[in-house]
Structure 1
């Protein structure tokens, strides 16, 4: 947009008149008032000038040698590139009122007749320019506010710090029609820099963390948004630059958005830049809070799981726990391995829900399981007692699934008791298959069968997992279980197998995943 269209002062005026004397007089008056004037003698010449140059107003003679001024006006107003330019028509042969009506109806913003007083001409020109500039400014601001809304949505939708920096930079570039750079610091102290509207990729800088944080903190030591003009900005290529620095808490590093000075030419532009910086700081605060909560939840979750697995050369095993990718709350997935006088009780379970309550129930279940196992109870009896505990003390939030394996290496067997959990996946030379042992989930007081004793030949691999690995929204559970079965081989390295399964089946899940793999040595 032509800058003069949005401010006061001189304008660029196209004067179209085939009479040299009339054209000379009008141009002289306009130039004395400080306006820049371009002259045209025909309609064709005027339309070519309008197609290649920018004008703020057209002073147009009604009678031109090649086209009526009315037709020229209609052409100007019909073209989206020139439709907003005011047209002042000037006629030396105005006789009937209908002529003026026709001119105004067909798009003219004013209609004068010669001879015209210089003051009247200039007053009409200034009035048309004032209206044009006010409308142009309002339209320009409306467009920028619409872009600001779009940019704010993108900023608030960002799920990573790199994505947030990119959304802020692209949003600022779009709102202010300028190259923009955004910078913020992630929880690991790494500065994330992104650019928007940059034509040359090499303009992107890689500043040092200390330089950026020190510069931003020195210019904005408190809470809120500060807009500064600086000869140099550590993360912005353009020199000088205008930077908006914002943060929501003193203990947080500021975020910064920088643009060239010409992009911020008034209070409206500064306010737009401030709003973008404020939205980015609030979004960064949300991501930082989420990251802290997720880290705390993960630390707490891992503290409730075994620190290490028992070492038995004849029954090597490995385990994994992966929190839900989109959930900062603690979950109820767990696994445990308990050595029992030559035998080994292996458990995996899942308390329904993601909350402190679910984690509390999970901790109770795990400790109760250990206590009953040490007392020597059979797997099915352990499940019955845990079921009674949940039904009595957690009647509304204690629904739990669990699978127990009591492995006897000397006998070469494993006793399997299942309480509504994903069944063990057994893999040997004949392939992989799920155990058919079933039973009701825990916490509802239903009768449950005794454990089923299955052979555990040498070289057999057994995989236990929670449903986070096999479930996916909108996909049948049987399909997920089949994908897991097809991906398991009895002779895979167990650590490699666990990592591969998580990489292939466990990405982007909305539930936690607990996974335990064991193998009787051949």
Structure 2
């Protein structure tokens, strides 16, 4: 049994011995490069790729033991087998030294052609089997990492970008990916570039995709360039396509890796599609529980914003409410703890209960006591809620305020900005509540109510966030501009949703 041709480095300072060994190896079908000294051999190893080194023990500049040790100590050449050949008889200790310092085999003269060739071929078989195993392990590790990145994608454009990157990394070649049809707007596609970056775009011309593994002479994303294409699909409009140059899938192993990536991508796309649809339904539910429009009160203009948490987080229970009570307005902002459809549902119950209690009770502290009793009885633990209530009279600027563990109202006026000193325990735990606080809001005063999603930052104290918000609010700023500016500055990539409500007393 013979191995395929190899590139052999023969190192020996005796020309006759070097010539004989090189001749045997060349007749065996191998390509041979010759070196006279240890230094020359190390230089050649640094510049060229070799499959095996046949190394004399006695060299003029250093011992073959030293050369073998340096070869095995360099990560680039550590896997190359080294066969020592000694021109003179050696004691057993010399053989042991040679093997301990890196040699894979040790031959002593006289060595015949058959023994040398058998030793070289045995070492090459082991070396190549080890190289194949390491290559496969490396590719499987890259496949695992790529699959994890694909499954971690939270958007379809990210999904196809990670699929293209994974195919490029696993197969060490340029790659392209086309994702499933989304939102009726065509497909996302991605393509790796020479510098390792991934370009992502969207198109509608990829409707009739091929099936299986095939060679396409003119794929739509790179005209004129042949590509090997693999397509996995769960439905006609949900196909995922991965493409690489044909040379990158020369073996069954290459094709199987590409197929596994395509299958992982289509499964991730199905999961992402289901999550996206569920998230949209949940957001529709939550928005349906918020006021559809704010009352028009010339003496008390107002505006509100609601921003859901970042796309990968579940919905929350943040809300705001405005209810007319004669000439006064009951304004509320609150947050049901937790992030789930359950939290949003409890939020809807709290809003409706708030309006029902306000029909009979106008005092904010009394309304909070009733809400606390309702939540403690019907939603123990899961119904923990923070809330701030203001009963505002636009005619004279008076306000009655009660708080339940919520961020207090921020009042901004030309004379200065401050948070109202109103406190109280969270709702849903049945603790005694303080009475309402009466305050006077000067003409032109701007009042801002927010949930903690706007000011809370991971690792920072909530008071620091509230101080930053206080500095950012200016009383003369248009309220819509102010809300948008605050959300742009403080509201990006938050894990909690945000409710924001502002009103201003007429001057």
Q: TM-score scaled by structure 2?
A: 0.86
In terms of mean alpha carbon deviation, does 254-263 or 134-143 score higher? 254-263
Q: Does 1:308 align with 2:303?
A: no
Distance change >3 Å, CA 395–CA 140, structure 1 → 2:
closer
| CA distance in structure 2 between the aligned counterparts of 1:476 and 1:169, rounded to whole angstroms | 41
1:87 corresponds in structure 2 to: 82
Report the Cα offset of residue 147 of structure 1. Answer: 3.3
Paired position in structure 2 for 1:110 = 105
- 1:234 paired with 2:220, answer yes
Partners of 1:280 and 1:387 in 2: CA distance: 48
1:52-74 alpha-carbon deviations (Å, 9 max, x no partner): 22222233445556655455444
Task: Decide whether the 8 Å contact of 1:207 with 1:235 is kept in 2.
Answer: no
Determine if the alignment matches structure 1 residue 58 to structure 2 residue 53: yes
CA contact (8 A) 1:18 1:41 kept: yes
Number of residue pairs matched by the alignment: 505
- Provide the secondary structure at the position in 1 that maps to 2:4: coil
Partner in structure 2 of residue 4 of structure 1: none
Counterpart in 2 of 1:389? 374
1:264 aligns with 2:249: yes
Q: Report the aligned-residue RMSD.
A: 3.3
Check the 8 A contact 2:192/2:199 in 1, yes or no.
Answer: no
* Matches of 1:28 and 1:327, distance apart in 2: 67
In structure 1, which of residues 13, 22, 30 is the aligned counterpart of residue 25 of structure 2?
30
Name 1:479's counterpart in structure 2: 464
Decide whether aligned partners of structure 1 residues 84 and 409 sit closer, same or farther in structure 2, where only a CA change above 3 A counts: closer
Contact 1:44 1:66 in 2 (8 A): yes
SS, match of residue 305 in structure 2: strand
CA distance in 2, matches of 1:64, 1:387: 91
Structure 1 pair 11/402, CA: closer, same or farther in 2 (3 Å)?
same
Using the alignment, how far apart are the partners of 1:119 and 1:367 within structure 2?
Answer: 94
Give how far 1:100 is off: 5.2
Given that residues 186 and 206 in structure 2 are in contact (C-alpha distance below 8 angstroms), is that contact kept between their aligned partners in structure 1? no
Question: Following the alignment from structure 1 to structure 2, what is the Cα–Cα distance between the partners of residues 195 and 419?
Answer: 53
Whole-angstrom CA distance in 2 between matches of 1:196 and 1:8: 37
Among 148, 170, 176, which residue is 1:175 paired with?
170
Matched with 1:518 is: 503
Q: 318, 324, 345: which one pairs with 1:333?
A: 318
Shift of 1:515: 1.1
CA shift, 1:512, in A, is: 1.7
Aligned 8 A contact 2:181 2:237 in 1: no
Q: Are residue 132 (structure 1) and residue 117 (structure 2) matched?
A: no
- Structure 1 Cα separation of the partners of residues 3 and 12 of structure 2: 26
Give the Å deviation of 1:308: 0.9
Deviation at 1:43, TM superposition (A): 4.5
Given that 2:161 and 2:199 are in contact with CA atoms closer than 8 Å, whether structure 1 keeps it comes out as no
Are the counterparts in 2 of residues 333 and 512 from structure 1 also a CA contact under 8 Å?
yes
**CA distance in 1 between partners of 2:202 and 2:55 (Å):** 59
CA distance in 1, matches of 2:217, 2:356: 69
Residues in 2 aligned to 1:98 and 1:384: alpha-carbon distance in whole angstroms:
92
1:339, distance to aligned residue in structure 2 (A): 2.5
Whether the 8 Å CA contact 1:182–1:258 is kept in 2: the answer is yes
CA-CA distance at 1:106 after TM superposition: 4.6
> By how many angstroms is 1:498 displaced?
0.7
1:245 aligns with 2:240: no
Residue in structure 2 matching 1:209, options 199, 203, 207: 203
Question: What's the TM-score, normalizing by structure 1?
Answer: 0.84
Q: What secondary structure is seen at the aligned counterpart in 1 of 2:205?
A: helix
**Aligned counterpart, 1:349:** 334
Of residues 294, 297, 301, the one that matches 2:279 is 294
Matched-pair contact (CA < 8 Å) for 1:352–1:399: yes
Are 1:368 and 2:353 an aligned pair? yes
Rounded to whole Å, the distance in 1 between the matches of 2:436 and 2:323 is 17
Range moving further from structure 2, 344-353 or 171-180: 171-180
**C-alpha contact (below 8 Å) 2:448/2:501 kept by paired residues:** yes
1:199 aligned to 2:195? yes
Say which is worse superposed, 298-307 or 384-393, in terms of deviation. 384-393
Gaps of 5+ in 2: none
Deviation of the 1:88 alpha carbon: 3.4
CA contact (8 A) 1:92 1:114 kept: yes
Note if contact 1:245-1:257 (Cα within 8 Å) is conserved in structure 2. Answer: yes
Distance 2:29 2:483 in 1: 79
Q: Secondary structure at the match of 2:406?
A: coil
Residue of structure 2 in register with 1:418 after alignment: 403
